[in-house]
Structure 1
Amino acid sequence: MSIAVSADIKPSRLLLLIMGFACLCVALIGVFACLLMPGQLSWLARGVLAAACILAAAIALFLVLRDRKTVWLHISGTGQIRVVEHLTSGASRAKPQVMKAGLAQLLAGTTIWPGMLFLRLRLENGKTRTIPILSDSVSEDTFRALSVACRWLISHNTAKARMLEK
């Protein structure tokens, strides 16, 4: 059986919606803490708490929006992972511009659930990258193939580690 799979992973709209709702909740908690806690804290302390919550929500939303890039992931039959980040111009249907490309290694902490994959990868430059893959990021068949390939890689890496320990 070959585990080779290629996938064009688009940013998940569902994940963006969930993160946007979480940021809104944090901001509203700050506002409600400012308005609904009379007598327990001074106005200054409540104002600082509200501002901190709103600032934290804005920063979190900015970071989520900044990391929304389309990623092409290729896992070869031998288990080698190649990651290519690219930017597509929204107005035209031109070929995507490659931003970064390189080999990666699947790390421990990769999460594989039936409807969600969080791939932790160590890139060639030593940085760690987490790629969230939800069911709306790829087609159903591609999601299934990625899940099988990642499970195979995890079991293969675990077997290699056990052999090295002996």
Structure 2
Amino acid sequence: MSIATSVVISPSRALNWLLLLIVGCACVALLCVLYWYLPRANLLVASLGSVVAFLMLYFVIRAVLNALRQTIRYGLNVDSNGDVILRRLDVSGRVHESESVELRSPLILWRSVLLLSLQNESGKVKRLLILRDSVSDAGFRRLSLAFHWLVQAQTNTSVQNDLSEGNF
């Protein structure tokens, strides 16, 4: 069986909707607090509090909209030897960066979520969250199988190494 696979990972629409929902709930909570607190405060404290709250609200909404506008896509290649290559792609699919990475702990492999900790050659760790709607169904299955196989291979190697050390 070959574990070689290559997929393009797009931003998750479900995660974007969840982010919008959380920000919407925070905005409603902030408005409720202002509605109940401002009539009880003196004029200076009330005006200062409302200015700070609306500035905070403005910057949070602006940050969320910038995050939703980002269209960073990644290409993830796993070859038959278990080597992983991470490529950063632009909107048209051209490669901006390409680096060889290794799997590190923690690694979460669930039925609908893959959370990968990838370390490049310089030691920088990048965490990549892959939801089921970020890739095609077939691509998600291939990635899940490939990483399950890689984790199993790493576990067998580490168990053999742990048993062989310190026997003298």
Q: Report TM bin, short chain.
A: 0.7 to 0.9
- Give, in whole Å, the separation in 2 of the partners of 1:107 and 1:40: 52
Change in CA separation of 1:151 and 1:40 when aligned onto 2, cut-off 3 Å: farther
Contact 1:71/1:83, CA 8 A, preserved across alignment: yes
Contact 2:77/2:86, CA 8 A, preserved across alignment: yes
The amino acid that maps onto 2:25 is C
Please state how far the C-alpha of 1:101 moved relative to its aligned partner.
Answer: 0.5
Spell out the pairing of 1:15-54 with structure 2 (5 A cutoff). 15-38=15-38, 39=40, 43=46, 46-47=49-50, 50-51=53-54, 54=57
Change in CA separation of 1:78 and 1:50 when aligned onto 2, cut-off 3 Å: same
- Could you tell me the TM-score, scaled by structure 1's length? 0.79
- Could you tell me the TM-score, scaled by structure 2's length? 0.79
Q: Secondary structure at the match of 1:122?
A: strand
Partner of 1:82: 85
Equivalent pairs: percent with the same residue?
A: 26
Contact 1:19/1:64, CA 8 A, preserved across alignment: no
CA RMSD of superposed structures (Å)? 2.6
Residue by residue over 1:118-138, the C-alpha shift from the partner in whole angstroms, topping out at 9 and shown as x without a partner, is 222112332221222222221
Partner of 1:114: 111
Q: 1:71 aligns with which of 74, 78, 82?
A: 74
Query: Which stretches in structure 1 are left out of the alignment for 5+ residues?
Result: 90-95
Runs of 4 or more, structure 1, over 6 Å off, are none
Partner of 1:93: none
The amino acid that maps onto 1:16 is N
Query: Which stretches in structure 2 are left out of the alignment for 5+ residues?
Result: 164-168
The amino acid that maps onto 1:126 is G
Partner of 1:99: 96
Max radius of gyration: which structure? 2
Partner of 2:154: 157
- Give, in whole Å, the separation in 1 of the partners of 2:117 and 2:20: 23
Q: Secondary structure at the match of 1:136?
A: helix
> Which structure has the highest helix share of the two?
2
- Give, in whole Å, the separation in 2 of the partners of 1:87 and 1:14: 21
Change in CA separation of 1:13 and 1:121 when aligned onto 2, cut-off 3 Å: same
Residue by residue over 1:52-80, the C-alpha shift from the partner in whole angstroms, topping out at 9 and shown as x without a partner, is 75267337525734764111100111111
